[in-house]
Amino acid sequence: MSKNAREDILEVAKKAAQARGYGGLSMRDLAAEVGIKAASLYYHFPSKADLASAVAKRYWEDAAADLEKIWDEYSDPAERLRFFPVTFRRALENENRMCLCSFMGAEYDDLPDPVKKEVQVFADVNVAWLEKALVATGAVEPDASEARAKAVFAAVAGAQLMARSRADISLYDTLIESYRTAGLLPA
Amino acid sequence: MSKNAREDILEVAKKAAQARGYGGLSMRDLAAEVGIKAASLYYHFPSKADLASAVAKRYWEDAAADLEKIWDEYSDPAERLRFFPVTFRRALENENRMCLCSFMGAEYDDLPDPVKKEVQVFADVNVAWLEKALVATGAVEPDASEARAKAVFAAVAGAQLMARSRADISLYDTLIESYRTAGLLPA
DNA sequence: ACCTGAACACCGTTCAAGT
DNA sequence: ACCTGAACACCGTTCAAGT
């Protein structure tokens, strides 16, 4: 693919993990897609756990950068919140994939600790951004803003999961719109 | 365990699938826990897909029965809705397990078609019950009731997923309470 | 009717060996 | 520095064979 095998591995592994999770991520298949042998993977990453941890870390770093971009592009607090669900929509647009961290959240029991840690940072980053954005709208009581931010995150993740389980992206849009009608997200 | 091996298999497989999903369900481990050899599993079920399909079918049947019970036990529509999240809470109480169908929803790409079908029926059953209950409260416009029912289902599933990913059942309670404060569920 | 051992093609992982 | 083949203990599954 590119000149940098390590980059290729991370990229292909990310897409695979978004579709099949940690357990479903096959080192042999991954290697084949990158164009090397499975054993060669272990030159770049000491173990599957290390690889997945690096993938999850980059995943939340990219998410954080995306959220920063939304923040800077819009000044209206409600406008910013309008765009939050778009980042989760993109995974579904991308061949019905889902958030890597939602999938791995489900796999909690089988997740190596370093991976678990990065997965939780992803949620932390999203919740912190949402809380900041919600407080700025002034529509949420300050002492309820953290709980509300978590609620929005959980609900959006749930919408993505449900839409994926039907391979129906229009269902995702319906769900987000219902959240707005119900008052969970600003209309 | 019991006298009936088939029953034991279904029961143990259900708990395993709630913790590790379809992919994480190991026929060898399952057999060991039941007290037979892996090959013997294939006497009772022709394949892993058939076993998982039977498990998922029973799962939504049990869920439907639970919902019926809630419906009959309470006559106040809002009261009925108050108890909906309790069924999802029980999985978390049970050693941080989650809804089998949420997990398998994430595994969409690797799910055999018969399993996929049963998983979707689970969502259908829940959404139909929720819609009935929401309409009865009179608080939701009739032409928005289906979308709202789906939204509640997705949000509750998302709350369960997020709480599981932290092994924190109190987070689940916080999220459900936030849904009520926000207006997604009746307060 | 119900279960088993042995075999099949897979998997993640290791490691000594190649260039 | 980067990759590989061969081997390890696993996996789901099959099947002929046992009782």
Dihedral sign for Cα A123, A129, A133, A138, please: positive
Selected residue with higher pLDDT from A100 and A1:
A100
| pLDDT band per the 50, 70, 90 thresholds, residue A46 | very high
Nearest alpha-carbon partner for B52 in B111, B1, B94: B111
Residue B58: is its pLDDT beyond 70? yes
Which of B105, B109, B179 is opposite residue A184, by nearest beta carbon? B179
Residue A164: is its pLDDT beyond 80? yes
Average pLDDT, chain B: 95
Token representation of residue B95: 């050693």
Query: Rounded to an integer, what distance in angstroms lies between the CA atom of residue B140 and that of residue B186?
Result: 10
Question: What DSSP string describes A40-76?
Answer: HHHHH-SSHHHHHHHHHHHHHHHHHHHHHHHHHH--S
A177 near B CB under 8 A: yes
Nearest alpha-carbon partner for B139 in B177, B187, B107: B187
Query: Rounded to an integer, what distance in angstroms lies between the CA atom of residue B147 and that of residue B145?
Result: 6
Which CA distances in Å does B169 have to A56, B160, B186?
24, 8, 21
Q: For B95-112, write each residue's pLDDT tens digit.
A: 999 999 999 999 999 999
**Cβ–Cβ under 8 Å, residues A131 and A146:** yes
Across the range A177-183, mean pLDDT stands at 97
Residue B155: is its pLDDT beyond 90? yes
Question: Considering only alpha carbons, which residue of chain B is nearest residue A160?
Answer: B154
For residue B111, the Cα-to-chain-centroid distance in whole angstroms is 16
Average pLDDT, chain A: 95
Window from A22-26, A89-93, B61-65 with minimum mean pLDDT: A22-26
Across the range A25-52, mean pLDDT stands at 94
Question: Cβ separation of B182 and A183 shorter than 8 Å?
Answer: yes
Q: Determine whether the distance from the CB of A32 to the nearest atom of strand C is below 7 Å.
A: no
For residue A46, the number of C-alpha atoms closer than 13 Å in the C-beta half-sphere is 2
Query: Rounded to an integer, what distance in angstroms lies between the CA atom of residue B160 and that of residue B114?
Result: 25
Contacts of A91 (CB under 8 A, 6+ apart): A18, A97, A98, A99, A160
Which CA distances in Å does B69 have to B62, B80, B154, B185?
11, 10, 22, 20
The three-state DSSP-derived secondary structure of chain B is: CCCCHHHHHHHHHHHHHHHHCCCCCCHHHHHHHHCCCHHHHHHHCCCHHHHHHHHHHHHHHHHHHHHHHHHHHCCCHHHHHHHHHHHHHHHHHCCCCCCHHHHHHHCHHHCCHHHHHHHHHHHHHHHHHHHHHHHHHCCCCHHHHHHHHHHHHHHHHHHHHHHHCCCCHHHHHHHHHHHHHHCCCCC
Nearest alpha-carbon partner for A163 in B98, B129, B147, B41: B147
Question: Considering only alpha carbons, which residue of chain B is nearest residue A185?
Answer: B182
Which of A21, A119, A178 is opposite residue B106, by nearest beta carbon? A21
B96: phi > 0 → left, psi -120 to 50 → alpha, else beta; which? Answer: left
Q: What is the pLDDT of residue A187?
A: 86
∠ Cα B32 B18 A115 (to 5°): 95
B139 near A CB under 8 A: no
Residue holding tokens 């940098």?
A: A4
Residue B163: is its pLDDT beyond 80? yes
* Main-chain phi, psi angles of B111, to 5 degrees: -90, 130
Residue A1: is its pLDDT beyond 90? no
Question: Considering only alpha carbons, which residue of chain B is nearest residue A108?
Answer: B165
Q: Determine whether the distance from the CB of A27 to the nearest atom of strand D is below 7 Å.
A: no
| pLDDT band per the 50, 70, 90 thresholds, residue B1 | low
Which of A147, A154, A184 is opposite residue B162, by nearest beta carbon? A154
| pLDDT band per the 50, 70, 90 thresholds, residue A3 | low
In window 36-65 of A, residues with CB < 7 A from nucleic chain D are 36-40, 42-44
Q: What is the pLDDT of residue B187?
A: 85
Query: Rounded to an integer, what distance in angstroms lies between the CA atom of residue B36 and that of residue B28?
Result: 9
> At B79, which helix (H) or strand (E)?
helix B77-93
Q: What is the pLDDT of residue A84?
A: 97
